Structure 1
Amino acid sequence: MNRIANAFARNHKLLNVYFTAGYPRLHDTLPLAKSLAEAGADILEIGMPFSDPLADGPVIQRSSSAALANGMNLPVLFEQLRELRSAVPDTPVLLMGYLNPVMQFGVERFLQQAAAVGVDGLILPDLPLDEYEELYHPLFQHYGLKAVFLITPQTSEERIRRLDALSEAFLYLVSGPGTTGGTTLPDEEMQKSYFERIAGMGLNTPRLIGFGIADKSGFDRACNHAEGAIIGSALIRALDGVPDAPAEAARFVRGIKAQ
């Protein structure tokens, strides 16, 4: 059983935490990963900064711009992640980003290096599904990497079932329209209907809810409708200007996971 499957088997109310590689400082990536995992994060999602993101709101965009200015890029990230599994032995780690830098780096070279440092899966929101299925799925399987797909309230049932059949990790349920970084789950009744519709489909793949989840109450509400939730922008905001980013990240996660 892989690390992602193990995380879902062990945990109820699973917390996936996003942070941007190279932010707030270039060499914070690995210390943040270690601190977040030790504080109780169940999955780590490391953002690969990109100048033109599609789904990221202003908070994550600013962190990406800062990380790029700090000197973060894919070669630097993979060099930093060489010690990933020494720092974080058992916690699943995903890389999240956009297709353009991956293609410039070379898709197979990217997958090979991700696997070599112990990454478990990838979130590439702008990777076309047909292209993934026809060109890249065999490569993902060859390198033991799991693709995570996004579902929105507008995603058709046909596509959801196709994503469910292809998924080997979890389905990322986008909580509503817009980009990352909202502070509340908008229009709770509409969202409840959306989440219940997905739950009623009898999918084989576990689900995590993301976008607009910023605190413990939002996390707990999301966990009523899925196996867990994803928090990113709220953590990035918490790290802004602090002297000790790993310590602040640990405090943030402990607050979300508190019983």
Structure 2
Amino acid sequence: MMQNRIDQLFAKKQHSVLNVYCTAGFPQLNDTLPVMTALQQYGADIIELGMPFSDPLADGPVIQESSAKALQNGMSLHVLFKQLAGFREKIQLPVILMGYFNPVLTYGVEAFCAKCAEVGVDGIILPDLPMAEFENEYRATFEKYNLHFIFLITPETSEARIRKIDGLSKGFIYAVSSSSTTGKDKDMKDQQAYFERLKELRLKNPVLIGFGIKDKATFEVASAYANGAIIGTAFIKKLENSQDIDIAQTVKTFISDIIQ
């Protein structure tokens, strides 16, 4: 079995890893691949692709609205897998699908995992799938298809639970910078004690910090304590006003402002 692309990435790059979240089927239904292609071209390290869902509990209003728009555009898991067919001919970056368990359960967990493996997805984030349920019922299926399952932790997560997650996780751990939804403005320096605590745990998995990362300054703070960061809401805001012709330019400007 080929080494997972997420592992390949962290084997060669341990610092300032940039994971960018985009909603599949947004701004327009067929923008999924153009956005992904531009992210690869202009310097993202990981693409986190949101699977739109009607009740996205962990997402703030900006990502919720992008999800609602994508659903209105006609996005579904079936459409997404059609869009992703053959995407590996163009895109070499690790790709993670992020969403909620209900659509995956409706699709069929094994069928979903098989389809992910077929098109070339590397990892899955399902924030509402309980850890015990994953471990007891679904872990073997995800591992069978070489899909890394990525858990979220928050400042309230106990050390015992973090270590349990570290043992169950593959790829990286998603460290939420606060317990609120995505997209809230936060002073990253307020989270310093939490970031220090994570760093001192010396976890076996890499750690990426998300929620509140929006520009070069917040990306650099996160990267000082972890292996890198995840940017979602700020990127979705930029895409909101993009038309097909300038998606590439929007992505180029956004990423160059963060990593230059």
Which residue matches 2:257? 255
How far does residue 135 in structure 1 lie from its aligned partner after superposition? 0.8
Q: Which amino acid aligns with 2:37?
A: K
Which residue of structure 2 lines up, in the alignment, with residue 43 of structure 1? 46
Take 1:250 and 1:67, find their aligned partners in 2: how far apart are those partners? Answer: 22
User: 1:84 deviation in Å?
Assistant: 1.5
Instruction: String of CA shifts for 1:132-189, please: whole Å, max 9, x gaps.
Output: 0011110011101000000100001111000001111100000012100124435x24
**What SS does the corresponding residue of 2:152 show, helix, strand or coil?**
strand
The partner residue of 1:101 within 100, 103, 115 is 103
Please give the residue correspondences for 1:217-256 in structure 2 after superposition, counting only pairs within 5 Å. 217-243=217-243, 244-256=246-258
State which of 28, 32, 35 in structure 1 corresponds to 2:31: 28
SS at match of 1:224: helix
Measured in 2, the distance between the counterparts of 1:185 and 1:229 equals: 15
Superposition misfits of 4+ residues, deviation over 6 angstroms = none
> Percent identity between the aligned chains?
53
Query: For 1:81-230, what aligned pairs fall within 5 Å after superposition?
Result: 81-88=84-91, 90-185=92-187, 188-189=189-190, 191-230=191-230
Please state whether the residue corresponding to 2:19 is helix, strand or coil: strand
Aligned partner of 2:238: which letter? A
Gaps of 5+ in 2: none
Letter of the 2:151 counterpart: F
Paired residues in the alignment total 255
* Aligned CA-pair RMSD: 1.0
**Which deviates more, 245-254 or 119-128?**
245-254
Q: Distance in 2 between matches of 1:107 and 1:216?
A: 38
- How far the C-alpha of 1:13 sits from its partner, in A, is 0.4
Other structure's SS at 2:86 match? helix
Deviation of residue 257 (structure 1)? 1.3
SS of residue paired to 1:229? strand
Report if the CA contact (8 A) 1:182-1:213 is conserved.
Answer: no
Q: CA deviation at 1:256?
A: 1.1
Query: Which among 45, 67, 72 is matched to residue 70 of structure 2?
Result: 67
Farther off after superposition, 43-52 or 199-208: 199-208
Confirm or deny: 8 A CA contact 2:154 2:178 kept in the other structure. Answer: yes
TM-score normalized with structure 2 length:
0.96
| Other structure's SS at 2:203 match | coil
How far apart, CA to CA, are the structure 2 residues paired with 1:240 and 1:20? 11
Distance 1:220 1:183 in 2: 16
The residue matched to 1:200 in structure 2 has which SS? helix
Distance in 2 of aligned mates of 1:15 and 1:109: 30
> 1:69 deviation in Å?
0.3
Task: State the shift of 1:247 in Å.
Answer: 2.5
TM-score (norm 1): 0.96
